[in-house]
Amino acid sequence: MIMRRLFIIGLAILTILLYGRSQIIAGTATPHDSTDALKPVYCNDCHSVHKAQGTSLTNESSNENLCLFCHSATGIAVSKPFNKITDQATPNTSGTSHRWDRSIAAGVAPLNLVAGSADNPYGLRTSSEISNTALTTQLAKFNNVVTCSVCHNQHAQSNTPWDPNAPGSGSGRHFQRLTNDLNQMCEDCHYYRTTATSGTDVRAYDGKKKSHPVVKDLTADVDATQFIGAAPLEPNYNPQTTAPRYHQNGTGDTNTTNNTVLDSSSKVRCMSCHGIHYTDSDSSTTDSP
Ligand code: HEC
Ligand code: HEC
Ligand code: HEC
Ligand code: HEC
Ligand code: HEC
């Protein structure tokens, strides 16, 4: 089974290598293609037909090393670098990026998987509970480790990201494995922090970790005495602008990386508060690599 799969993948890649760089998997999308004269990327930058070190005939022994080959201080994707030691988050301690070296537990609910349980502070599901096959297929390839190619499809820009400034197609859509405009990807794994469970709307009174409410509209769904209105505010108390997502700056603050961005229905989602990479948790600075 595995050999046959490898053979088919090998055939696809061999075809590419033999017949030039015609794009057989409907090609890779920019910027992982050869359209940028300064930073061209070809299939065989990531794949080899012989002596391939990684799964799917990739060039490095791990998915992380493959991505970091270019996404590092010395690689061609130096403008979006990652450091596997310093960047990955240890909550409350350090890091600026979602981890890419941790596993999802296998099997069916071996843990006490309820929101607030000290056994499951991240509110994660197990690999057999995660519902989207695009995620479960990738997790199976990488021993359930949530590595780069679980959240990213490095070949395609078709899925819509959360990023409110992403274009409608092409470069800048962050190669999402799943459509994530409503944080579908986050919620599938971190299920016990979503509205599908009793994990949200829980007040923490007993010292255990509970969840901030999500999928709430700041005007319609809340106690009006507690909130000023629909638009989240800048640090200087001027409202952010451009409904429904309120992702642009009001007057005074020029930093868009500290904005509280809402979804297309002006509701709060995970990524209203959380960033994924290059997030320093300091609203007075601009988040960038
Ligand atoms: C930026 C690196 C990169 C580039 C460029 C790239 N690939 Fe891949 N490819 C990967 C990785 C990593 C995997 C394994 C993980 C996965 O399936 O996403 C993979 C998997 C595959 C697979 C197996 C898919 C599957 O479902 O098992 C095929 C076929 C493939 N690539 C063909 C190509 C072809 C053809 C090109 C050029 C048009 C190309 N790749 C360019 C990184 C790359
Ligand atoms: C848990 C899921 C997850 C993992 C693991 C992950 N990413 Fe991401 N990454 C995302 C999401 C989601 C975005 C888009 C954020 C947005 O829409 O604002 C993103 C964005 C990016 C960007 C664009 C950032 C920018 O500022 O333009 C790069 C580059 C990137 N990821 C590379 C990687 C690499 C390389 C790895 C592994 C070392 C990795 N990612 C691991 C989810 C992930
Ligand atoms: C052969 C070099 C190379 C490899 C290997 C590589 N990348 Fe990239 N990647 C690039 C370049 C070049 C860019 C564009 C950087 C820039 O904007 O300057 C890029 C950009 C990206 C972006 C942002 C694209 C956007 O439209 O927002 C993501 C996400 C990304 N890579 C993920 C990955 C992942 C995941 C892997 C590993 C599977 C990987 N890359 C491996 C060269 C590479
Ligand atoms: C494929 C499953 C998966 C997806 C998708 C995913 N996460 Fe995670 N997340 C994890 C795992 C596993 C950990 C690490 C748990 C640990 O450290 O033991 C984690 C950790 C975290 C943490 C704690 C800091 C850290 O990085 O360790 C935050 C915050 C977080 N995730 C938010 C998000 C958000 C927001 C999204 C959506 C963009 C997301 N996650 C998507 C599996 C996932
Ligand atoms: C209103 C803002 C907000 C929203 C919305 C939000 N979070 Fe958080 N989240 C936070 C803050 C602040 C922390 C850090 C709490 C701390 O330091 O103890 C946190 C911590 C976490 C952690 C790490 C837990 C730990 O032990 O430190 C995870 C995982 C997480 N959030 C996932 C999510 C997911 C998944 C969603 C969407 C379903 C979400 N969050 C929605 C603000 C938010």
Chain segment 75-130, per-residue pLDDT in tens = 999 999 999 999 999 988 999 999 999 999 876 554 445 544 556 778 888 898 89
Ligand 3 centroid to 54 CA: how many Å? 18
Ligand 3 centroid to 109 CA: how many Å? 35
d(CA 159, CA 168): 10
Ligand 1 centroid to 4 CA: how many Å? 16
pLDDT bin (cut points 50, 70, 90) of residue 20 is very low
Compute, in degrees rounded to 10, the torsion defined by CA atoms 240, 242, 247, 249: -40
d(CA 66, CA 80): 14
- Ligand 5 binding pocket includes 200 (Cβ within 6 Å): no
The residue among 180, 154, 160 whose CA lies nearest residue 31 is 154
CB 59 within 8 A of CB 66: yes
- Nearest atom, ligand 5, residue 200 CA: 38
Q: What is the pLDDT of residue 264?
A: 96
Task: Calculate the average pLDDT of the chain.
Answer: 83
Ligand 3 centroid to 280 CA: how many Å? 21
- To test the ligand 4 pocket, which listed residue (122, 144, 149) has its Cβ within 8 A of the most ligand atoms? 122
Ligand 3 centroid to 180 CA: how many Å? 18
**146-155 pLDDT, tens per residue?**
999 999 999 9
Please state, as a whole number, how many other Cβ atoms lie within 10 Å of the Cβ of residue 206. Answer: 7
Q: What is the pLDDT of residue 107?
A: 67
Q: Would you kindly state where each structural domain of the chain is located, as residue ranges?
A: 1-59, 82-212
**159-218 pLDDT, tens per residue?**
999 999 999 999 999 999 999 999 999 999 998 888 776 555 544 555 444 677 788 888
Q: Report which residue type is found at 145.
A: V
Protein residue with least CA distance to atom 33, ligand 5: 270
CA distances from 119 to 27, 177, 193 (A): 43, 28, 14
Q: Pinpoint the alpha helices (H) of 19-122.
A: 43-46, 63-70
φ, ψ (nearest 5 deg) of residue 3: -65, -40
The residue among 55, 36, 44, 41 whose CA lies nearest residue 15 is 44
- Say if residue 16's pLDDT is above 50: no
Q: What is the pLDDT of residue 3?
A: 43
Q: What is the pLDDT of residue 272?
A: 95
Q: Could you tell me which residues are beta bridge partners of residue 235? A: none
Bigger pLDDT: 49 vs 74: 74
- Ligand 3 binding pocket includes 278 (Cβ within 6 Å): no
The residue among 136, 133, 132 whose CA lies nearest residue 106 is 136
Protein residue with least CA distance to atom 36, ligand 3: 67
Q: Could you tell me which residues are beta bridge partners of residue 1? A: none
Minimum-distance ligand to the CA of 270?
5
pTM above 0.95, yes or no: no
